[in-house]
Amino acid sequence: MAEPFRIALAGVGTVGGGVAHQLLTRGDELAHRAGRPLKLIAVSTREVDKPRRTDLAGIPWQANCVDLASTDAHIIVELIGGEDGPALDLIEAALEARKPVVTANKALLAAHGLRLATTAESAGIPLRFEAAAAGGIPIVKALRESLITYPIECVRGILNGTCNYILTEMEATGSPFAEVLRDAQAHGYAEADPALDVGGGDTAHKLAILSALAFGVAPGTRSMRVSGITAIEQEDISFAREFGYRIKLLGVARRNGQQLDQRVGPAMVKIATPLADVDGVFNAVVVHVASAGPFIFEGRGAGEEPTTSAVIADIVDIARGANGPAFGRPARDLEPVVSAPGDACRSPFYVRFALLDAPGALAEIAGHLAHAGVSIDSMIQRPQSTADAVVIVMITHECSQTAIEAAIKAISASDKVVGIPCLIPMETI
Ligand SMILES: NC(=O)c1ccc[n+]([C@@H]2O[C@H](COP(=O)([O-])OP(=O)(O)OC[C@H]3O[C@@H](n4cnc5c(N)ncnc54)[C@H](OP(=O)(O)O)[C@@H]3O)[C@@H](O)[C@H]2O)c1
């Protein structure tokens, strides 16, 4: 019998609890896959006495998770979470002790991924993170190992189940954002503090990981445009339907020559195209590969079972001897992102604003658009229920981000416009 593969696990919450459960209850089956028994030899949690679904009584517990790195474990699995703090301390200690690491921690990888990958590669050990982007969908392995022959042109995805659930429910129920968010929190689909999800930050962390794998750039969010779904109103969802679109929070990374356009935000996605039909807490990623693609991945992006499935797959890979650079290329070859300028980022746009119902008001808006070089493809005008204003919705012809932003700035400054205009790009592929 081969020597057991000894595993130390930090964090036994939603994901870590699932991993511990699988290791302790399905050992024989996993041993067949790994080619050797998988043995949980130590755990660390915040509270030792907290009731757990899986009985961990026989597993040695470490009060300080960093001490896991000095056990005789073959591998450290970090499932605590958080960009810094104990999770980072543990991973650094593990790599220093030349122990392979598996993590699901996208926030930490987006902030420190390059440095940690460099350390792991210098030590000749693997750092794996399949669960960190799109949960159970095996997109990390696909980008790292499979879609490597032809250049990738674009990666687009619905990467946050909370936002997708909220947008799907807003459409299905006609309820406003705040009400649907409260309902999502009550059902456990949204955190008590939802800012990272609904503000787009969580999607940005995951996009940073996918961009690094797909385009060979250093992971990071600094060069991204990031916005969330908090400003989406019920009328945007119904106008989108009228134009044949649905609103989704997308993470998009698109190659533009030597530059990269990376953005996170609400986008209009044409009905009956792959991302438009992804509902509820599901995630999906479309990878456009020159000559060979598109490839579409869809599945559960969060929750105990899908995420556990991805973590166990990484553990089994490493138990079998898998190694190689964390982001598919040597870390020293990962380039800094050269952002595509706003002039190079082009699409049609959806624009909604409330306009005073006064002579010359619409002509003034048309003037601002024309001055910025933006032309209108179609327009709808509706009375607004309050005040003496009308709601104007325009779909522009394709134009640059810079041009539409200049037009929106001028429109927002007009004394004939009430409130803040809403601007959403329309996905064209
Ligand atoms: N939940 C998901 O669906 C999902 C999906 C993809 C990726 N992820 C990522 O997976 C990671 C874990 O998420 P989760 O949802 O499982 O979190 P969670 O349910 O909050 O569990 C966190 C665990 O970490 C433990 N912990 C906290 N501080 C600790 C410390 N200083 N030392 C040792 N253990 C400590 C907690 O201990 P106690 O149990 O004693 O409190 C708990 O067991 C995060 O990086 C997250 O982003 C989660």
CA of 180 to the centre of ligand 1 (A): 25
Q: Residue 145 — left, alpha, or beta (φ > 0 → left; ψ -120 to 50 → alpha)?
A: alpha
Across the chain, which distance is largest between two alpha carbons, in Å? Answer: 86
Q: Name the nearest CA neighbour of 207 among 225, 195, 221, 228.
A: 221
Q: Is 10 in the pocket of ligand 1 (CB under 6 A)?
A: yes
Residues 80 and 151 in one domain: no
How far apart (Å, rounded) are the C-alpha atoms in residues 116 and 331?
Answer: 9
Whether ligand 1 lies within 6 angstroms of the CB of 79 is answered as yes
Domain contains 383: yes
What pLDDT, on a 0 to 100 scale, did the predictor assign at position 71? 98
Looking at the domain assignment, is residue 50 inside a domain? yes
Nearest CA residue ID for atom 29, ligand 1? 46
Residue 16 CA to residue 19 CA, distance in Å, equals 5
Q: 146 and 279 share a domain?
A: yes
Mean pLDDT value across residues 368-389: 88
On whether both 159 and 282 belong to a single domain, the answer is yes
Residue 178 lies in a domain: yes
CA distance 92 to 10: 13
Q: How far is the CA of 132 from the centre of ligand 1 (A)?
A: 12
Residue range 213-272, pLDDT digits in tens: 999 999 999 999 999 999 999 999 999 999 999 999 999 999 988 999 999 999 999 999
Phi, psi dihedrals of residue 143, rounded to the nearest 5°: -75, -35
Neighbours of 129 (CB within 10 A): 26
| Separation of alpha carbons 129 and 210, rounded Å | 11
CATH code for position 327: 3.40.50.720
Strands (E), 98-210: 101-103, 127-128, 152-158
Q: What is the per-residue pLDDT for 356?
A: 92
Same-domain pairing of 181 and 291? yes
Sorting pLDDT into bands at 50, 70 and 90, what band is 386? low
Under DSSP, the state recorded for 426 is B
DSSP for 87-106, please give it. HHHHHHHHHHTT--EEE--H
Active site residue 106: no
| The predicted structure's pLDDT at residue 196 | 96
Q: Does ligand 1 have an atom closer than 6 angstroms to the CB of 104?
A: yes
**By alpha-carbon position, which residue is closest to atom 34 of ligand 1?**
45
On whether both 164 and 95 belong to a single domain, the answer is: no
Q: Which residue among the candidates 141, 206, 248, 409 is catalytic per the annotation?
A: 206
**Cα 320 to Cα 2: distance, rounded to the nearest angstrom:** 11
Tell me the pLDDT band of 284, cut-offs 50, 70 and 90.
very high
What confidence category does residue 428 fall into, taking pLDDT thresholds of 50, 70 and 90? confident
Tokens representing residue 198 in the block: 């609904």
Whether 107 and 47 map to the same domain: the answer is yes
The tokens for 316 are 């089994």
- Whether residues 78 and 189 share a domain: the answer is no
Kindly state whether residues 147 and 286 are assigned to the same domain: yes
Distance 406 CA to ligand 1 centre (A): 43
The pLDDT tens digits of the residues spanning 81-129 come to 999 999 999 999 999 999 999 999 999 999 999 999 999 999 999 999 9
Which of 298, 325, 358 terminates a domain? The answer is: 298
Cα 411 to chain centroid, rounded: 32
Task: For 116-160, write each residue's pLDDT tens digit.
Answer: 999 999 999 999 999 999 999 999 999 999 999 999 999 999 999
Spatial CB neighbours of 51, under 8 Å, sequence gap ≥ 6: none
Residue listed under structure tokens 């998988």: 38
Distance from the CA of 199 to the center of ligand 1, in angstroms? 21
| Mean pLDDT calculated for residue range 8-23 | 97
- CATH code of the domain containing 386: 3.30.70.260
- 164 close to 151: Cβ distance less than 8 angstroms: no
Residue of 80, 281, 309 with the most ligand 1 atoms within 8 Å of its CB, for mutation: 80
Q: Among 271-275, 283-287, 327-331, name the one with the lowest average pLDDT.
A: 271-275
Containing structural domain, residue 216: 139-298
- Would you state the pLDDT for residue 382? 86
Classify residue 339: in a domain, yes or no: no
Do residues 177 and 146 both lie within one domain?
yes
Encoding tokens for residue 276?
Answer: 């438009």
Contact 243, 268 (CB under 8 A): yes
Query: From CA 374, how far away is CA 397, in angstroms rounded?
Result: 7
* Confidence band, pLDDT 50/70/90 cuts, at residue 344: confident
pLDDT at 364 over 90: yes
From the CB of residue 226, how many other CB atoms can be counted at a distance below 10 Å? 16
- Ligand 1 pocket test: which of 9, 19, 44, 46 has the largest number of ligand atoms within 8 Å of its C-beta? 46
Ligand 1 pocket, 65 CB below 6 A?
A: yes
With respect to residue 338, please indicate whether it lies within any of the assigned structural domains.
Answer: no
The model's pLDDT over 165-221, given as tens digits with 9 standing for 90+, comes to: 999 999 999 999 999 999 999 988 888 899 999 999 999 999 999 999 999 999 999
State pLDDT tens for residues 44-69: 999 999 999 899 989 999 999 999 99
- CATH at 204: 3.30.360.10
> Does any ligand 1 atom lie closer than 6 A to the CB of residue 414?
no
Residue type, 170: M
- For residue 162, what are its two tokens? 């909370």
The structure tokens listed for 222 are: 């600094």
**How far apart, in whole angstroms, are the C-alpha atoms of residue 297 and residue 276?**
13
Helices 106-123, 86-96: crossing angle, 10 deg rounding: 10
Query: Is 267 in the same domain as 377?
Result: no
Instruction: With respect to residue 384, please indicate whether it lies within any of the assigned structural domains.
Output: yes
**If you measure from the C-alpha of residue 372 to the centroid of ligand 1, how many angstroms do you get, rounded to a whole number?**
48
d(CA 417, CA 355): 5
**Residue 81 Cβ < 6 Å to ligand 1:** yes
32 belongs to a structural domain: yes
To 10 degrees, what angle do helices 161-173 and 234-243 make?
80
| CA 416 to centroid of ligand 1, rounded, Å | 50
Strand pairing report for 245-256 and 152-158? antiparallel
Please tell me whether residues 247 and 315 are part of one structural domain. Answer: no
* Separation of alpha carbons 46 and 52, rounded Å: 13
> Which range among 199-213, 277-291, 385-399 shows the weakest confidence by mean pLDDT?
385-399
DSSP string computed for 105-173: -HHHHHHHHHHHHHHHHHHT--EE-GGGTTTTSTHHHIIIIIS-SS-EEEEEEE--HHHHHHHHHHHHH
pLDDT above 70 as % of the chain: 99
Does the CB atom of residue 159 touch ligand 1 within 6 A?
no
**What is the tally of structural domains in the chain?**
3
pLDDT at 387: 66
Q: Which atom of ligand 1 is nearest to the CA of 47?
A: 40
Return the pLDDT at 385: 62
193 occurs within a structural domain? yes
Same domain, 282 and 171: yes
Task: Decide if 283 contacts 210 (C-beta within 8 A).
Answer: no
